[in-house]
Amino acid sequence: MSGPAAGPGTLPSPGAAHPEDAPGRAARPAPGAALAVAIRTAAAALALWALVHTLRAGVAQPGVALAFGALIAVGELVRQRPAGAPGESARAPLAAAGALAYALLGEVAGAPAPHGAAQTVVVVGLARLVGTVPRAGRGPAGDRLARNLLTCGCVAICVQPLYAAGAGRGQVPLLVLLALPALTTLGDALLTAASARARTGRPYGALLRRELRASGGIGAAVGATGVAIAPATAVAGLWALPVFALPLLLTQCALRRFAAARATRRQTVASLARATEIAGYTPPGHVRRVAVLSRAVGGELGLREPELDLLEHAALMHDIGQLSLVDPVPSGATAPLPPAEQRRIALLGGAVVRQTGVPAEVAVIVERQADPYREQPVTARIVRTVNAYDDWAGQAAGAGGARALERLRSAGGPDFEPGVVEALARVLARGGSTG
């Protein structure tokens, strides 16, 4: 069961939890890989067309292009970084709002803005690229840039020809201006879910629901800001950019501080959870493996991000009740213990967790992890199932996770919900991908 030591604030990949299972597993391309390639190819083709067209026609209103490009680049530079939990997406609402506004722009201070769809794609692409370079290596930036180009390009292709045909400010139907941001948010969610499907192999429907939930509030703010900047620029000129961008920038900075606080709390919980390992009550790496796999299984079952955070914290602290025992459990494995002893340790753990300042829901999950699964919340069912898998896989003497998984399936009874077991099996089949 013991694995390589990891830092207190880091969680290893669950696919590395039991290395003995790796030999003989054939590498398989993730489902949806072809769609991800198609997205990148389409974005590259759009960017090439836009660049060639812009080079031939020349850059219209360079000052306006530079102003919007700077706004988008700044938005990328202050991109909201993930809070450290797997599955969270980095977002750049200021950059998205600036790109949407440039795509919808028809006039600047009463004068026509003849930049067109091609120049829109070039400016947005270059600005996002400039803003991404200092953050190289911090995520799938290529896929993100491809999605940005496609969504922004579609908006520009829908709106800019109307301006070119003589439709000035106020002549483009308001319904079009209001509908396009919503369609942009939906399109970005569709493409993001497709990219995540290619990386992780998780069901597309669950990934799409996660993206729609995550982009709901911020997507509305981006759309409203983008739609507001375009007509404001038509009246007031480029002074409208800082006026409308500043509130969104302040909101984004507040979100970053909130994300940093979440990351700090998560690292604190992870450090506290190592107390059982340091005291010799559980094997090294056990709580981290259970936490990573639990979060992956929760994502597989469609839990929302706040529920996944609670689940991960509970999984990290699920064994902390063992610190109250006089005699340590052999090998730290609670799965083979009698049900009454499992419940006693769970209740002791819940009492400890309630003193740590984490949300009360975490203590409830820890306390109820040993109850019959029909009486448990789904988060407690996940922790119990994954903990038993890791305990049994560590005791399987060479058979590894496959035998532990089969044992979970055959155990039945009131202990393990079959749906959770099968979700765990799907996660393990993908190498423990968290998405």
DSSP string, 151-173: HHHHHHHHHHHHHHTT--TTTS-
Give the percent of the chain with pLDDT over 90.
10
- Residue 327 Rama label (left phi>0; alpha psi -120 to 50; beta): beta
**Higher pLDDT pick, 212 / 111:** 111
pLDDT for residue 429: 82
Mean pLDDT for the chain overall: 77
Which pLDDT tens digit goes with each residue over 209-266?
777 777 767 777 788 888 888 888 888 888 988 888 888 788 777 777 877 777 777 7
Q: Which phi and psi angles does 42 have, rounded to 5°?
A: -65, -40
Q: Which two tokens stand for residue 10?
A: 């880091």
* Residue 119: per-residue pLDDT: 94
More confident call, 125 vs 185: 125
More confident residue, 20 or 433: 433
Confidence check: pLDDT of 136 > 70: no
Query: 58: alpha, beta or left, given left = phi > 0 and alpha = psi -120 to 50?
Result: left
* Euclidean distance between CA atoms 266 and 261, whole angstroms: 9
Q: What is the pLDDT of residue 175?
A: 65
Query: Considering the entire predicted model, what is its pTM?
Result: 0.65
> pLDDT at position 167, please?
52
Give CATH for domain 274-429.
Answer: 1.10.3210.10
CB 313 within 8 A of CB 350: no
Which tens digit of pLDDT belongs to each residue from 286-296?
A: 888 888 899 98
Measure the CA–CA gap between 147 and 158, rounded to whole angstroms. Answer: 17
